[in-house]
Structure 1
Amino acid sequence: MNKLEKNERFSSCRGVSFEIKVFPGSSVYIERSLSRPSSHFCDLNLDHIDENNDECMEEIHDVEKQKPIILTTNKDEQPRKASRERKSRLSIILLDQGLFTVYKQLFVVCITLNLFALVLATTGHFVYAKNRGTLFSIWNIFALTLGRSEAVLRVVFWLAVKAFGRPWIPLKIKTATTSLLQSLGGIHSGCGVASIMWLVYSLVLALKDKENTSHVIIGVAFAILSLVCLSSLAAFPLVRHLHHNVFERTHRFAGWSALFLLWIFILLTIAYDPSSKSYRSLTCTNLIKYQEFWFTFAINLLIILPWMTVRRVPVTVSAPSGHASIIKFDGGVKAGLLGRISPSPLSEWHAFGIISYGKKDHMMLAGAVGDFTRSLVSNPPSHLWVRQVHFAGLPYLVNMYERVLLVATGSGICVFLSFLLQPCSTDVIVHDTAVLGRPKVSNMTVEAAKRWNAEVVIVTSNPEGSRDVVDACKAAKIPAFGPIWDS
């Protein structure tokens, strides 16, 4: 019979072990099994090879103590095959998230509002916008930049937790806020498409009045439109997921080039005199009178700000397993934040959950599933590029709730390890698949959420696992959130 004991050694995922301190009075227990130590938290197989290899670790954040709970499920009772036909990872991401997600609703709202304003402008019922197509396009670019600015969103997430992370705030307000903040990418993509609409409108007006418009200005405008369209096409979901490196580089460099040309366009437009068909000299006094100047300046500031924090820092990379590497950095980080690292800052960036306990250091666990992450195992670097402004994501919003059920499978546990390293006021369930078999994670989640009266469930898993858990919780009237795979 396995011995029940308090243990300071917890095994993590992909053959990588972590040391987790057991705090006095904590009710964190594990049942020691005869399985390999590396199987306690997650599967050793790569998620992209077998997405059904799910294990469940659940933690509840609560102000009350709970009794330790040990899973005693018989291995033979666990389902061996998926109950429905297996789908590819890509089809789940693109097709199985529903037509009415908050992300898509925000996208439609942005398009609808801009389309309504555009129709009014073309019919002469919106006089202000009739000859300001370029300005409306810049407004949309400013909005989409705000929606993806990690520095701005860090502040927004912090304000949301401070404002709504109180016991007396209704749960519906908290979950609505979580849905909105998680789906701000819908504003980014919606405003991106809307900016193209306004650019086309502005170009049509310029071509109609080409006798009073410089051919150089029209040429620059066409170049901007082409670059913005290229950037948007690269972000199309199918391209983004199948050729992510192509998307990232095209989106970045096409966007930067368009922004550079936008400055040229603004300066030429302000300096051009239609009556004399020549360019007059510009002064700061002239420039600051135009909204286009100020909004473009703000866009540049938002884009440059994160790059001002980019540093090349020493790292310690170890690979206890061929399936993953541990990247160690100096300095502690608040729980729930994520970070970006890069071997070449102009070409690629990779985001990972941050594991941090104390103020001395923090770590990232990178599963070897791509070219960069595999190179960390085969050829560990001594330095990496980092953005020192860490950004907030869904895990950070855990701080908004009183009772949260965290569900993690595979390397998804890394996002929650910072919470596990904190003093635990209640229970942790560790499902050992080598002893207990493959669990029905969605059923386990619903049962645990009901047992602990959790306010919300947050899951980090592969697309199929996340979808199943979220769908099961929603069917049971339990608020649940998981990755939306929008980047």
Structure 2
Amino acid sequence: MEERENKEIKIARFSSCRGVAFEINPNRSNPFAIGSPPKQERIGTWLWLPWTRNSSFKVLPQPHTISPTRSRASSHFCDIDIDASDFEVEFIAEVQDIEKPDKANVVKVQKLLPKSDPPRRSRLSIILLDQGFTCYKGLFLVCMALNVVALALSAAGCFPYAKTRAALFSIGNILALTLCRSEAALRVIFWLTVQTLGRPCVSLRIKTATTSFLQSVGGIHSGCGVSSIAWLAYSLVLTLKNKDKTSPEIIGVAFTILSLILLSSFAAFPLIRHLHHNVFERIHRFAGWMALILLWLFILLSISYEPYSHTYDLTMSKVVKKQECWFTLAITILIIIPWLSVRKVQVNVSSASSHASIIKFEGGVEAGLLGRISPSPLSEWHAFGIISDGKKEHMMLAGAVGDFTKSLVSTPPKHLWVRTMHFAGLPYLVNLYQRVLLVATGSGICVFLSFLLQPSKADVCLIWVAKDIELNFGREIIELMNKYSKEKVIVHDTAISGRPNVAEMSVNAAIKWNVEVVIVTSNPEGSRDVLRACKRANIPAFGPIWDS
């Protein structure tokens, strides 16, 4: 009896890190320390694993005691989850290799195993509740604070200009939020940033602070959106107190604009935006367009109204003298510019499996840029990373996770709508640094692959973790990766070698390659884990901004 209890205690010392069995060893100095893997035995299947100092790849045989881990279809192609049955097989195999128990003990071990995967937090809860205080939230609070102070001073009579021009402050906030979401304006800003700060003489602290700010400008967008509502409501209150100086038409238009902006902001609330993204996108677009049209009407009515005669007299001299007109003109131009680049183009769509499709377009594209495609330009747009060698063509790798991306596999289209003006995001800021580690899971590789195919300011190293790589992504993607130095690439196929600790791999690789910064593209949980691990190791790291 005592012997069995000892065995149970020893078995309990083996846990699971997302499906990979390991021995808990608190005495090691390395916080990521795990027990030694079971002895490998040779069979016909080979895999690449990054555990050598001389090379980024090592060929190891797969043990016959552990079945290949085939992941179930997940809601996000960057996920690398495993089945409960696979967890059980791996756990039992690990215990058998160390304890060599008889059949009775194996049965007892099976009773100790969970019948299903342990409960995991939902992706939405991680996005909304598990990011802590981010730069995005900081910018949101700064914008709100500045506007609240100005509103309070105006209401107290200490800021008379704002009291007489409250509508102008509302339009000014709308201009700021439009600027922060203008792909044309941000493309110029990102380019200027790389040209001025992407030099060895600029300190790493300045570069990382700039990266954090640029990828979080959505906080300014949200803060100015809420502030514009407050200023417009304040303007309406002041107008209603002096109804004799305005017209019912102007008040009615102003109330309609306020209602549309409220509707647009409500649709952008994180819970609604993440659960019903298509609804959010359409409301945000059409409510915004309608509000812009009514804003022009509101300005023209306000300028031309004569309170003494209760008539309208519009002249061009009145229009050009009003700041509201120039602000609204700038908003209109910023909104129109991306739509001028919309084209219907011929595409070649191929699928290596039912999990992803490759969409090919004509024309080379600079590394780090992203593109938008649509089956119906007025209803929905989808952003993807671009893979290109910068010469004759570019392609997008689309994981089949939604209705549109699944339709690319089931019924490949001959034509798609595209925005020929590509936009810059976090991947583009790789050019700011001298040496960068890129970490991708699943189809997230598409935003980084261009850096392996064309010359870049940065010396990049790559970790790619995915399932059934050749089966899901096709031979073409593997051949593109093979063009880059294998000394700087780590590829981990979870279908062969199980789910790894991506956070540990990232920290170890960043130290080994002595990189300045780590940039990760994964699902919310994976990105969070890598960012936290890098923070503990004092390594600058950036990932997707799920707030915006």
* Range of TM-score over shorter length: 0.7 to 0.9
| C-alpha contact (below 8 Å) 1:30/1:430 kept by paired residues | no
Provide the residue aligned with 1:57 in structure 2.
none
1:464 to 521, 525, 528: 525
* SS of aligned partner of 2:200: coil
Provide the residue aligned with 1:368 in structure 2.
400
Query: Equivalents in 1 of 2:219, 2:454: separation in Å?
Result: 34
1:13-64: per-residue Cα shift (whole Å, max 9, x none)?
xxxxxxxxxxxxxx875748779xxxx9x9784353894539xxxxxxxxxx
- Seq. identity, %: 68
When the two chains are superposed, the root-mean-square deviation of aligned CA atoms in Å is 2.8
Whose Rg is larger?
A: 2
| C-alpha contact (below 8 Å) 2:78/2:442 kept by paired residues | no
Provide the residue aligned with 2:472 in structure 1.
none
Matched, 1:46 2:74: yes
1:350-404: per-residue Cα shift (whole Å, max 9, x none)?
0000000141110001111101111111111111000011001111111110111
Structure 1 residue 257, shift from structure 2 partner: 0.3
Matched, 1:445 2:519: no
Q: Quickly say closer, same or farther: Cα 1:337–1:93, change in 2 above 3 A.
A: same
Provide the residue aligned with 2:428 in structure 1.
396
Q: How does 1:400-439 map to 2 (within 5 A)?
A: 400-422=432-454, 424=484, 426-439=487-500
| C-alpha contact (below 8 Å) 2:369/2:385 kept by paired residues | yes
Matched, 1:479 2:540: yes
Q: Quickly say closer, same or farther: Cα 1:50–1:259, change in 2 above 3 A.
A: closer
Q: Which segments of 5 or more consecutive residues in structure 2 lack a partner in the other structure?
A: 1-41, 49-54, 83-92, 96-112, 456-483
Aligned residues: 440
TM-score normalised over the length of structure 2: 0.76
Amino acid at match of 1:48: H
Which is bigger in relative contact order (C-alpha 8 A, separation at least 6)?
A: 1
Q: Quickly say closer, same or farther: Cα 1:239–1:355, change in 2 above 3 A.
A: same
Q: Quickly say closer, same or farther: Cα 1:344–1:30, change in 2 above 3 A.
A: farther
Provide the residue aligned with 2:142 in structure 1.
109
Query: Equivalents in 2 of 1:366, 1:106: separation in Å?
Result: 32
2:333 to 298, 301, 314: 301
Provide the residue aligned with 2:372 in structure 1.
340
Q: How does 1:209-220 map to 2 (within 5 A)?
A: 209-220=242-253
Provide the residue aligned with 1:290 in structure 2.
322
1:182 to 193, 215, 230: 215
1:93 to 113, 116, 127: 127
1:335-354: per-residue Cα shift (whole Å, max 9, x none)?
11100000000010000000
Amino acid at match of 2:538: K
Amino acid at match of 1:397: L
Amino acid at match of 1:46: S
* SS of aligned partner of 2:416: strand
Query: Equivalents in 2 of 1:112, 1:211: separation in Å?
Result: 33
Structure 1 residue 85, shift from structure 2 partner: 5.3
Query: Equivalents in 1 of 2:197, 2:538: separation in Å?
Result: 21
Structure 1 residue 84, shift from structure 2 partner: 8.6
Amino acid at match of 1:194: S
Query: Equivalents in 1 of 2:120, 2:152: separation in Å?
Result: 45
Query: Equivalents in 1 of 2:119, 2:135: separation in Å?
Result: 27
* SS of aligned partner of 2:364: coil
Structure 1 residue 320, shift from structure 2 partner: 1.8
Matched, 1:134 2:167: yes
1:455 to 516, 525, 533: 516
Query: Equivalents in 1 of 2:226, 2:493: separation in Å?
Result: 47
Q: Quickly say closer, same or farther: Cα 1:407–1:84, change in 2 above 3 A.
A: farther
Structure 1 residue 159, shift from structure 2 partner: 0.8
| C-alpha contact (below 8 Å) 1:2/1:31 kept by paired residues | no
| C-alpha contact (below 8 Å) 2:367/2:390 kept by paired residues | no
Structure 1 residue 422, shift from structure 2 partner: 3.4
1:236-257: per-residue Cα shift (whole Å, max 9, x none)?
0000000000000000000000
Structure 1 residue 434, shift from structure 2 partner: 3.7
Query: Equivalents in 2 of 1:334, 1:358: separation in Å?
Result: 6
1:435-467: per-residue Cα shift (whole Å, max 9, x none)?
432111111111111122211110000010000
Provide the residue aligned with 2:289 in structure 1.
256
Query: Equivalents in 1 of 2:336, 2:61: separation in Å?
Result: 52
Structure 1 residue 168, shift from structure 2 partner: 1.4
Q: Which segments of 5 or more consecutive residues in structure 1 lack a partner in the other structure?
A: 11-26, 55-74
